């Protein structure tokens, strides 16, 4: 396992674009982990189920995912990502 971690850290350069991408993606994860997003599902007595997400939270998640997309785009256009 140590070799995998060492290899990964040598292959992916720690540029500002990469750090921004990791930071924003991690923030999305933490929002779900903390329960900041009102989302859920439940089974009904008749065997059906319901799913929901608060509209404001859905917009926030969409905006956060869009930012991750922009971060990934910036990273892929960076010199570090084009490096062989």
pLDDT band at 78 (very low <50, low <70, confident <90, very high): confident
Domain boundaries, the chain: 14-82
Asked if residues 39 and 57 have their Cβ atoms less than 8 Å apart, the reply is yes
pTM of the model: 0.74
Asked if residues 65 and 29 have their Cβ atoms less than 8 Å apart, the reply is no
Q: How far apart are CA 73 and CA 21, in angstroms?
A: 9
Query: Mind listing the pLDDT tens digit for each residue in 32-51?
Result: 999 999 999 999 999 999 99
For residue 59, is pLDDT > 90?
yes
For residue 5, is pLDDT > 80?
no
């Amino acid at each position: 396992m140590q070799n995998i971690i060492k290899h990964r850290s040598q292959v992916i350069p720690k540029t500002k674009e990469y750090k921004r991408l990791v930071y924003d993606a991690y923030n999305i994860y933490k929002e779900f982990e903390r329960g900041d997003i009102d989302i859920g599902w439940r089974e009904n007595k008749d065997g059906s189920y319901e799913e929901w997400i608060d509209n404001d939270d859905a917009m926030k998640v969409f905006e956060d995912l869009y930012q991750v997309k922009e971060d990934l785009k910036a990273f892929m256009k960076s010199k570090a990502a084009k490096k062989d």
